[in-house]
Amino acid sequence: MTPLFAALDATGALRFVSEVERGADCGCVCPVCGSSLVARQGAANEWHFAHEASLEQPECEAAALRVLRRLMLEHLQARAAAAGLGLPAFRQRVAIVRALVNLHEDVQWDVRLIGELQWQAPSEAHDPVARGRLDTGVDLHLHLHVAVDDTPPIWPECEGAQLVYRCRWPPASVLRDRRGVARYLDQQAELLWHQHPDTHGLVAGARARLETRSGQLYRNWLAMADAAGGPSHIDDIDAPPPKPLFYGPGTLPTPEQAPRYACAPDHAPNVSFTFYRLADNQSWLLYRLHSTGPTDWRSKSEKFYALAPYPRPFEGWTQALPETVGVADPFIGVIRCRSFLDAVTHLSRRTVLTRSSRDPAAFAGL
Ligand SMILES: [Zn+2]
């Protein structure tokens, strides 16, 4: 708990402990509970205010923070009146991070205030201290934040732009007088954008460019991987087959003897197929790809999954699922999934019927 370094005098103005008479003659009250304070100006400790007869309430712990926030607000108001706030440019990093790509682009735009800020007394710490109008056509909400630790602040949901005037909690030496706090805020406090709607479409533009690049990279990768594929590069082809898992009454056939299903190109032996019928009446089989097929580029330990249009390719199947789910490989006749989880997540949200079986014939007519 930080000792109270300033308090309210009889007129409601903020007074630092160095600006008042010592002891009970200070004439100040607690900004939280309103009870009388004494000014402790001893030699041993940092000067501070204390509640008379230790009458403080648990909520008085926030008194020092409330005083600092008021000083920040007064400082910012003085700066706005003298020279204007000078809003920083809004900057945002747009990123796409996937299994094969990690791309980003920085976008920024200038933001100006139209007219004056409307200052207001916030009742809660997360309420804005001022509102205004921006030349980007949205409303501005200005917040204060004192970073006591690294916990990120939570602001209320807002349609417009949110700007934060923030600083770290200052060292005790700064809190001795008004000048020290003013100097600290000049040097350490900063205006930071928390959010700004994409009013110029720059974020959407950057995202579209990144998606295009990501798609190209992915297609290049697949082309390269397929060109490099084939049995010649599979170094562990002589490794013994994995021990079959016990499944049902009896053991599974060996990979060589396992049945192959034409409706699930390149499927791994003895896998389970999951059938999804979507709301638009398209049906898909989700299954694990064979890890040593001729079109394969993976090491044996990696598990890759595919979605095959079921029971056979239908008109437009290569475009039927978004690229976030996978990339169509028309040569083999499957969608190569980016990740198993993404595919399942996408399908599960749109599925009207789903079944699992080791024999895709079980889904016929569903
Ligand atoms: Zn109090």
For residue range 289-323, what is the model confidence (pLDDT) as tens digits? 886 544 444 444 567 889 999 999 998 999 999 98
Contact predicate 7/37, CB 8 Å: yes
CA of 61 to the centre of ligand 1 (A): 8
Q: What is the pLDDT of residue 252?
A: 63
Q: What is the pLDDT of residue 243?
A: 44
Q: What is the pLDDT of residue 340?
A: 81
CA of 5 to the centre of ligand 1 (A): 13
CA of 55 to the centre of ligand 1 (A): 7
CA of 314 to the centre of ligand 1 (A): 73
CA of 124 to the centre of ligand 1 (A): 17
User: Could you list the pLDDT tens digit for every one of the 366 residues in the chain?
Assistant: 678 999 999 999 999 999 999 999 999 999 999 999 999 988 878 889 999 887 888 889 889 999 999 999 999 999 999 988 889 999 999 988 776 678 889 999 999 999 999 999 877 788 899 999 999 999 999 999 999 888 888 888 888 999 999 999 999 889 989 999 999 999 999 999 999 999 999 999 999 999 898 888 777 777 766 665 543 333 333 444 444 444 444 456 777 788 889 899 889 888 889 899 998 889 999 998 886 544 444 444 567 889 999 999 998 999 999 988 999 988 889 999 988 878 888 887 888 888 888 889 989 888
CA of 19 to the centre of ligand 1 (A): 20
Q: What is the pLDDT of residue 238?
A: 44
CA of 365 to the centre of ligand 1 (A): 74
CA of 80 to the centre of ligand 1 (A): 31
Q: What is the pLDDT of residue 103?
A: 86
Q: What is the pLDDT of residue 291?
A: 63
CA of 33 to the centre of ligand 1 (A): 4
Break the chain into its structural domains and give their ranges. 6-56, 65-203, 251-363
CA of 20 to the centre of ligand 1 (A): 18
CA of 355 to the centre of ligand 1 (A): 64
CA of 6 to the centre of ligand 1 (A): 12
CA of 57 to the centre of ligand 1 (A): 6
CA of 60 to the centre of ligand 1 (A): 4
CA of 59 to the centre of ligand 1 (A): 7
CA of 217 to the centre of ligand 1 (A): 62
CA of 34 to the centre of ligand 1 (A): 6
